[in-house]
């Protein structure tokens, strides 16, 4: 990339010069996530409107079998891929937080999936023009019509 230089305002206030090439003195620490014990207490899926809960439960069951934090991260990524492959959701974001409440365990985590469902009708219009002909293609889809991932 490189360094971006901006013009300096002439306000009379001196601006300190930072040499970014000399930042090697910063300490870095490596954290091993496979040794951090963790357990998933709760899974929340925010943004469900038409999709039925039991349709999504099968995708997130694997998350409850995680034993350490690295395993939680990997399984959360796999669950996100499964939810994406269902074809019902547009955007899927994953948030992992510590578990709160009276039934939370000391190493418990809450995993929240923020999803945005596809619209009821998705469509498009395409045109093709040749030398002596033209064509118009209209396509409509109805994803997740009854809440279980159907497509019409």
What pLDDT sits at residue 101?
A: 83
Q: pLDDT tens digits for the chain (152 residues)?
A: 445 544 545 555 555 666 656 656 666 677 777 778 888 999 999 988 888 888 888 888 989 998 888 899 999 999 999 988 888 888 899 999 998 888 888 889 999 999 998 888 888 899 989 888 899 899 888 887 777 777 77
DSSP letter for each residue of 84-151 = HHTT-EEEEEEEEEE--STT--TTEEEEEEEEEEPPS-EEEEEEEE-SS-EEEEEEEE-BTSSSSS-B
Determine the pLDDT at residue 151.
Answer: 73
Whether the CB-CB separation of 62 and 75 falls below 8 Å is answered with: yes
> pLDDT value at position 2?
47
Q: Is the pTM of this model over 0.75?
A: no
| pLDDT for the residue numbered 131 | 84
């Amino acid at each position: 990339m490189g360094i971006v230089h901006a013009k300096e305002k002439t306000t009379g206030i001196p601006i300190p010069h930072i040499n970014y090439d000399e930042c090697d003195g910063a300490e870095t620490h490596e954290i091993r996530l496979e040794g951090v014990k963790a357990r998933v207490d709760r899974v929340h899926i925010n943004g469900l409107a038409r999709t039925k809960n039991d349709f999504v439960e099968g995708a997130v069951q694997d998350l409850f079998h995680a034993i350490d934090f690295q395993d939680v991260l990997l399984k959360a990524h796999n669950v996100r891929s499964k939810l994406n492959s269902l074809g019902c959701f547009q955007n899927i974001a994953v948030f992992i937080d510590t578990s709160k409440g009276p039934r939370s365990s000391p190493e418990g985590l809450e995993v929240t999936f923020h999803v945005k469902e596809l619209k009821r009708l998705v469509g498009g219009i395409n045109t093709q023009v040749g030398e002596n002909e033209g064509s118009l293609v209209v396509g409509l889809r109805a994803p997740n019509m009854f809440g279980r991932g159907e497509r019409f």
